[in-house]
Amino acid sequence: MIATSLRDNVYAITVNDRTTDLFEGLWPISQEGVSYNSYLIQDEKTALIDLTKEFKTDELFDNVGMIKSLKEIDYLVVNHMEPDHTGAMKALNRLNPDITILCTPKARPMIENYYGITENVREVSDGEEISLGKKTLKFFHTPFVHWPETMMTYLVEEKILFSCDGFGGYGALTGAIFDDQIRDLDFYIKESLRYYTNIVAKFTKPVLNAIEKLADYPIEIIAPSHGLIWRGNPGKIVELYQKWSEYGKGDNEKGVTLLYGTMYGNTETMMNHVARGLGSEGVPVDIFDVARTHMSYILPSLWVNRGVIIGAPTYEGSLYPAMSLALEEASIKRVLNKKAAYFGSFGWSGGALRQIQKMVEPLKWEILDTLEFPGGPTDKELEKAFEFGAAFGRSIKA
Ligand SMILES: Cc1cc2nc3c(=O)[nH]c(=O)nc-3n(C[C@H](O)[C@H](O)[C@H](O)COP(=O)(O)O)c2cc1C
């Protein structure tokens, strides 16, 4: 892909990755893809902001090289050390050992640990400015958006924020790279939420801190290191990230995530009646079979909805394992403060509910109702399931 101009002498080099199956070795992107965005600013001095995953090094270098020889670049700005933004660092350093690497103090030892580079590394302090000539880089330390060494870089005269992982999203770019060029903006918003819940959700407070820190600076372009560049409406992605971060406190949407798992269909039969009960109250419901859906796609729903219904049978005295794994993942991502309910089938002893209580208690999920039944549900139990769903729906709307 050829570099795109953001402003005079400010370029975006967006490298698409459509072959990595799992982002971070965890999160599926084989359908959606992802982009690694780097930025080049040409002035009396030239700065390159963030790099790419190692296997995309040649593509990045070829595209940068069309604008400026890599050997003539003065600064490499490292906003974040994660290898999807720094994988090309060693190769760049070999080509241009004189390049000055600008980073936070916390990034310096990481640069040595990951790439063995110790020379020409210059720490920038929070709020520090470096002049490139006519244009000025200003650095904001934003720890834990997404690692401790993270910072964002602001191009003062052009009012562009290079936000790295902050305000990023999955989704390879389709030639168009700006929000105002995209017909299916909903796709990128959905993929930004999935990215947020997969990658950033644990760090809601640092995201809110970063937004607050930048509040007084006019921003005309948000240029993250993954996904769309927000030029038409940069406030949109900031508002979304802010809203999603506020959800971490529990002030969520009036919807329900219905997670279920089943071995022989009894819990699934019940689930359909619970769902109809919820539907009768007009409450939006997302239904996921936890054994067959990657958690990457479940987390966005769990994150935004106020209510969670768990439907799963007892398995070896405890909870159906795929549901345990889903709840464990929700715990890792700090999905907190939900209204919850449980239903499920058992053979003889039960035990699933006990395990659920143990798992959701630290997450501050309030279990409003439970409905357990032996074997297959009777007609009476199915009626109860409908009312169980409807009652839960009412409590979510309340
Ligand atoms: C491998 C396995 C282990 C089970 N362990 C228990 C158990 O410890 N206690 C119990 O009450 N039922 C146990 N059951 C029975 C199931 O909970 C029961 O069959 C239930 O109806 C399954 O619901 P489903 O049709 O939604 O999968 C077990 C079933 C299987 C297949």
335 and 212 housed in the same domain: no
What was the ipTM of the complex prediction?
0.99
- The CATH code of the domain that includes 243 is 3.60.15.10
146 and 56 housed in the same domain: yes
Q: Which amino acid is at 270?
A: M
What interhelical angle do 295-304 and 321-332 show, nearest 10? Answer: 60
- The CATH code of the domain that includes 279 is 3.40.50.360
Q: Classify residue 294 as exposed, middle or buried by CB count within 10 Å of its CB (0-12, 13-18, 19+).
A: middle
pLDDT of residue 188: 97
Residues with CB under 6 A from ligand 1: 262-267, 313-317, 345-351, 375
140 and 96 housed in the same domain: yes
pLDDT in tens, 68-82: 999 999 999 999 999
Q: What's the 348 CA to ligand 1 centre distance in angstroms? A: 8
44 and 162 housed in the same domain: yes
111 and 199 housed in the same domain: yes
Q: How far is 214 from 204, CA to CA, in rounded Å?
A: 16
Q: Which residue has the tokens 């050390």?
A: 81
Q: What's the 359 CA to ligand 1 centre distance in angstroms? A: 20
Pick from 210, 225, 247: which residue ends a domain? 247
226 and 368 housed in the same domain: no
Q: What's the 164 CA to ligand 1 centre distance in angstroms? A: 47
318: its two tokens:
């405890």
Which protein residue's CA is at the shortest distance from atom 27 of ligand 1?
Answer: 263
What interhelical angle do 204-214 and 234-247 show, nearest 10? Answer: 140
∠ Cα 378 382 388 (to 5°): 140
Q: Which of 34, 42, 41, 44 is nearest to 14 (CA)?
A: 34
* Beta carbons of 195 and 169 less than 8 angstroms apart: yes
Q: What's the 323 CA to ligand 1 centre distance in angstroms? A: 14
Instruction: Spell out, as residue ranges, where the chain has pLDDT lower than 50.
Output: 1
- Bridge partners (DSSP) of residue 153 are 139, 162
pLDDT of residue 343: 98
- Kindly give the number of the ligand 1 atom that is closest to the alpha carbon of 376: 21
- Bridge partners (DSSP) of residue 22 are 28
Pick from 229, 247, 265: which residue ends a domain? 247
Query: Which domain, by its residues, includes 342?
Result: 254-397
Ligand 1 pocket test, pick from 260, 269, 273, 314 with the greatest ligand atom count within 8 Å of Cβ, gives: 314
Q: According to the 3-state scheme, what is the secondary structure of 173-232?
A: CCCCCEHHHCCCHHHHHHHHHHHHHHHHHHHHHHHHHHHHHHCCCCCCEEEECCCCEECC
Pick from 247, 277, 309: which residue ends a domain? 247
Q: How far is 131 from 219, CA to CA, in rounded Å?
A: 19
Q: What's the 345 CA to ligand 1 centre distance in angstroms? A: 7
- Kindly give the number of the ligand 1 atom that is closest to the alpha carbon of 263: 27
pLDDT of residue 263: 98
274 and 240 housed in the same domain: no
Q: What's the 368 CA to ligand 1 centre distance in angstroms? A: 24
The b-or-e profile of 319-333 (16+ CB within 10 A means b, else e) is: bbebbbebbebbeeb
- The rounded percent of the chain whose pLDDT value lies above 70 is 99
Which protein residue's CA is at the shortest distance from atom 21 of ligand 1?
Answer: 375
- Bridge partners (DSSP) of residue 77 are 49, 102
Q: Which of 154, 107, 113, 110 is nearest to 135 (CA)?
A: 154
